[in-house]
Amino acid sequence: MTNGTEGIRGAAAFVGAATDGIGEAPGFSGQELAIRASLKAMQDAGIRASDIDGVFGALSAESMCGVAVSEYLGIQPKYSNNNKIGGSTFLSLTHTAAMAIKNGLIETALIYYGSNQRSAFGRLAVSATHQSDYEGLYQPRFPMTSYALAASRHMHEYGTTREQLAEVAVAARQWAQLNPDAFMRDPLTIEDVMASRVISDPFSVRDCCLVTDGAGALIMTSAERAKDFRQKPVYLLGAAGEHWHKQISAMPDLTVTAASKSGPRAFEMAGLKPSDVDVIELYDAFTINTILFLEDLGFCPKGEGGRFVSDGHIAPSGGLPVNTNGGGLSCVHPGMYGIFTLIEGVQQLQGECAGRQIEDAKVALCHGSGGVLSSQVTNILGTEEVL
Amino acid sequence: MSIIDPIELPVPYSVDEINREFWKLCSTHILHFQQCKGCGHWRHLPRYMCSKCGSPDWHWAPSSGKGVIFSWTTVHQPMHPAFGGKTPYASIIVEMEEGVRIVSQAPDLPIEDLKLDIPVEVYFEARTEDVTLPFFRVIE
Ligand SMILES: [Zn+2]
């Protein structure tokens, strides 16, 4: 069996990307925010609704969002897809869109997400799907509890410390301070993180992602057509996903995620290795995520993630730029964050990130996680120089 | 977002046949899990097929009731108001001798004494007349 991916390296490129309503956007539904982001992405790409023939995305509050968003925007897509693997959905949809483009099924795809969960609920919208009946009876606070259980096991097996988890939150905040759109930009120290209100041991509230509104959208087209767009094309060079479990008690090893499979396959498709990556965007729902994914994606050995992020190594002044927009911890987290890893990756490779721009960035790794460390999807993006 | 009645402690809300059987067996105070008749694999949560070999044939097998704490965390803000007076409490995953993992609590174990890989055994407490839940305590 092949991994079915040989053909799509560089077959499609992002030619537009935009966010909308990051932070607080009262007065809009999640769908309306997604529409606004989509219009901005179309404007960024210089195209109209009639140029789009594939629509891919998700909304928390609308199960038939494919038809709803298309109708609203006046798109009549030949192909639509809305999968249900959680916050990594968008990195899986780019994979599908690239295959559809490569096969000639469609020419140009819209990928979207939007949520008003901060304005609507004021807290993380935890759906009943996070709770199995058998587990919910004991009132774990999913999803936080699930990630805390993984952190607890990682600390036990590898000696990862509370301070090292806090380093992840501090690094994210320092990046957010360079991003005028980020929702939380106040200074944050390791001591602040550790002294904050405990949510689920070892996590304090500062180890947990934000609850914000926000929307994002991307435009993808064939590599051939991408050359004619006003934006510098950012090519999808590698894409791979894998998942092993839904509820946390079924995760085979709480310290190893399926990113250990999706990462190597995405790199293989891209013909690149971790040391080739200039900028890394990871789905940091909780501080342990960043540590687990840096290990599983091959940036450091298993168990070394805590030491790897120490001394500000992934902060703006450090050696490796990770979550340069401020991440889900400090920039934006409207229920599902995955699409924002892609938008930041694309904009970094287009050189549009102003004060937080990574100089001469040519390769970005974007990684999404869905459920409770469940579905893992990796995308590797590159500029024309690495095509 | 409340999914269950806000006053009483939560009770199982899925009522298919294997769920009913699992809770009924708990009321005998012997923990049972499904074991596959095709490949012998033990499983939890209860389901109608084996994810290892695909066999639809299974039976309820008694567990030794013993295992170790595979991981733990604490909950400081419960989602269900009925747990409000009990915080912080620990949420644990127990890895049973049969290899299955089960989410539960060890209410008598002080939070500062929680450790991974310590041996625990099951005991039961009735939540309502119809529902008895497995909990765990440290094996001295
Ligand atoms: Zn079997």
Which pTM does this prediction carry? Answer: 0.94
Cα B40 from chain centroid? Answer: 21
**What pLDDT sits at residue A126?**
47
Which range of residues forms the domain containing residue B125? 17-138
Q: Which of A219, A350, A266, A305 is nearest to A5 (CA)?
A: A266
Which residues in A338-376 are b (16+ Cβ under 10 Å) and which e?
Answer: bbbbbbbbbbbbbeebeebbbeebbbbbbbbbbbbbbbb
Task: Say whether the peptide bond before residue A210 is cis (omega within 30 degrees of 0).
Answer: no
How many whole angstroms from B58 Cα to the centroid of ligand 1? 8
- Correct CATH for A6-121+210-386 of 3.40.640.10, 3.40.47.10, 1.20.1050.10, 3.20.19.10: 3.40.47.10
In this structure, is residue B10 part of a structural domain?
no
Say how many CA atoms lie within 13 Å of B5 toward its Cβ.
7
SS3 at position B36: strand
In this structure, is residue B3 part of a structural domain?
no
**What pLDDT sits at residue A129?**
41
**What pLDDT sits at residue B130?**
77
How many whole angstroms from A264 Cα to the centroid of ligand 1? 30
How many whole angstroms from B50 Cα to the centroid of ligand 1? 5
> What is the complex's ipTM, to 2 decimals?
0.87
Segment A229-253 shows an average pLDDT of 95
Please write the tens of the pLDDT for every residue from A76-104.
Answer: 999 999 999 999 999 999 999 999 999 99
Contacts of B10 in chain A (CB under 8 A): 136-137, 139
What is the C-alpha to C-alpha distance for residues A297 and A367, in angstroms, rounded to an integer? 9
**What pLDDT sits at residue B12?**
73
With CB atoms and an 8 Å threshold, state whether B93 touches A150.
no
What is the C-alpha to C-alpha distance for residues A362 and A381, in angstroms, rounded to an integer? 8
Least CA distance to A250: which residue of chain B? Answer: B101
Least CA distance to B112: which residue of chain A? Answer: A201
* Residues in chain B, pLDDT under 50: 1-6
**CB atoms < 10 A from the CB of B129, how many?**
7
In this structure, is residue B9 part of a structural domain?
no
**What pLDDT sits at residue B3?**
43
Give residue limits of the domains in chain A. 6-121+210-386
Pairing type for strands A108-115 and A54-59 reads parallel
Closest CB from B88, B91, B133 relative to A140: B91
**What pLDDT sits at residue A4?**
54
**What pLDDT sits at residue B13?**
63
Instruction: Check whether A125 has a pLDDT greater than 80.
Output: no
Least CA distance to A249: which residue of chain B? Answer: B101
CA-based nearest distance B119→chain A, Å: 16
What is the C-alpha to C-alpha distance for residues A140 and B89, in angstroms, rounded to an integer? 9
Please write the tens of the pLDDT for every residue from B71-106.
Answer: 999 988 766 667 767 788 899 999 999 999 999 999
Q: What domain count does chain B have?
A: 1
SS3 at position B121: strand
Q: Which of A194, A68, A61, A171 is nearest to A116 (CA)?
A: A61
With CB atoms and an 8 Å threshold, state whether B117 touches A134.
no
What is the C-alpha to C-alpha distance for residues A338 and A215, in angstroms, rounded to an integer? 11
B15 in reach of chain A (CB within 8 A): no
CA distances from A88 to A58, A293, A340 (A): 11, 13, 10
